[in-house]
Every structure is written in structure tokens, then in C-alpha cells.
Amino acid sequence: MTQDSLEFLLQRWQSGEWDVAQLESVLRKTFEATTITSEVQIDIDRQRRCGYPEVVYGPGKSLEAIRDVFRAQQVAGQNSLATRITAEQAEFVANEFPASKYNPAARTLMHLNVPPQPRGRVIVVSAGTSDRPIAEEAVETSHWMGCETDLVLDVGVAGPHRLIAQRDRLATGDAIVVVAGMEGALPSVVAGWVSVPVIAVPTSVGYGANLGGFAPLLGMLNSCAANVAVVNIDAGFKGGYLASLIARQSRQEGPDV
């Protein structure tokens, strides 16, 4: 609910057009808003509660289900993001929302009804090119949330000079996402060079003892760098989301509109 719409409701109550019971009924419906379609219940109220709208996780959803979420969010004046989207799903939704942006590497589809107020800067660091799809997912998430984003590619610990060469770029971030597979050492190294939170994203990239991402996950959880926090395996969206929340709060000057 926007400030203008809340003021409108209160004015109707103040003028006597509504009594307290009527005002309470409307407010409850607004705050508990759910749009129900044949396949999904869309949490339209999530933006009010959590600051950002519901995000669509694509696998297992029909073409129509994803489109219906985008439709409902457009009516509510909200921005849409879908993750792990196939090219077929993206094409179907884009037929109705031609201004939407599909990133095939990240497997994300974004549609901005109202461009967010720019604030905060997130640096996304990828250990290797095989980790790039997860890093791209973090980048797209940060864009959707209104952060300036910089993607630093292929600076894994096997070539330590590559990371050192990027120190000036790292220093510009309000939060940093580090995406790495194999043994997952990169977040600890990055964290030793910066004074901001580092969100570590382990990936399933690696040989047998990588164990589908469990090896870097455990390595990151055991980081001796105090400014490292860890999300789930291949969770580029979660890494980008948390980093963006941090980055935007660090630049907070007033409430988002």
C-alpha cells in the first residue's frame, strides 16, 4: 500500500463515509492481499511486508502460471522476477510483456513496471567461468532490487594475482557476492581484502570430491574470515538478494516509495 492510498482510506473514515468496522475490513483485505488463479496464490502483500514482491521459481510451473503472476504484479504496480526459467517459459511470458528482459545464462526473466529507486552497490565475484551462470543470477537479482552491480569474472585462487588486480573494484561495493565451486576458498580470500559483508555462494562446479557443492559449502561455513556469510548451493538468487538488502540499507536516506 502506498502512502497516497492509505491517506485516501483514512480520509474516508475521517469524513464519516466509513465507520471503524468498514475501515478495518478494507485494511485487513489490503494487508492480507492474495491473488488466486487456477494454479497459484500470489502474495501481493509481500512487497509491503518484506520490501520486495514475490519472486517466481520457474521449475515445475506451467507457462500460464508464470504469466499469471506477472499479470497480477503488473496490476498491483509491482516489479516481476522469475528465476530458473527456460527459454520456452521466457518466450511465452514475453509475448505479453515484451519489455521483459531474459538472461539465458542466469535463467532469469525480469519485468520492471516501476523502476526501483537506485541505491547501493553490489559487487559479484566469480571464481571461474563455469560459475558464471550462478553469478549472473545474483547480478540480475541485484538489478531487480535497484542496486548498481559490477560483475568480476574468473578470479579464482589458482591465480591469486588476478584477484589482487581487482582490489579497487572490490573497494567500491557496499556488499560483495562471491561465487565459487571446487574447494570454495575464494570468499575467505576476498573477505580478507574488504570491510563489507561477503555473501558466499557455493556452486556444484567441481570434480568428484566436490560432492555436488557440499565441499565448497562446508569450506565456506568454516571460513575464518569474520565477514563471510553463506547461502545454499547454487543459490545465486539468494546471494544477490541478501547482498542487495545490505547494500541498500547501507545507503538508506529515507523510505522507499
Give 87-122 pLDDT, tens digit per residue: 999 999 999 999 999 999 999 999 998 888 899 999
β pairing state of 80-83 and 108-111: antiparallel
Mean pLDDT of all residues belonging to the chain: 89
pLDDT in tens, 168-221: 999 999 999 999 999 999 999 999 999 999 999 999 999 999 999 999 999 999
- CA 189 – CA 185 distance, rounded (Å): 7
Q: Is the pLDDT of residue 29 over 70?
A: no
- Specify whether the CB–CB gap between 60 and 83 falls below 8 A: no
CATH 3.40.50.1970 domain position(s) in the chain: 121-250
Comparison of pLDDT for 93 and 20, the residue scoring more:
93
**16 in Cβ contact with 45 (< 8 Å):** no
Q: pLDDT tens across 219-249, in order?
A: 999 999 999 999 999 999 999 999 999 999 9
3-state SS of the chain: helix, strand, coil percent to 5?
A: 45, 15, 40
Going edge to edge, which strands form the sheet with 198-202?
148-152, 121-126, 175-180, 198-202, 228-230
- All three cell numbers of 73: 504484479
- For 23, phi and psi rounded to 5 degrees? -60, -45
Specify the pLDDT at position 251. 82
Largest CA distance in the chain: 71
Provide, rounded to the nearest whole percent, the portion of the chain with pLDDT above 90.
70
> Counting Cβ atoms within 10 Å, is residue 206 exposed (0-12), middle (13-18) or buried (19+)?
buried
At the topology level, CATH places domain 121-250 in: Rossmann fold (3.40.50)
CB 181 within 8 A of CB 205: yes
Q: Which has more confidence, 14 or 31?
A: 14
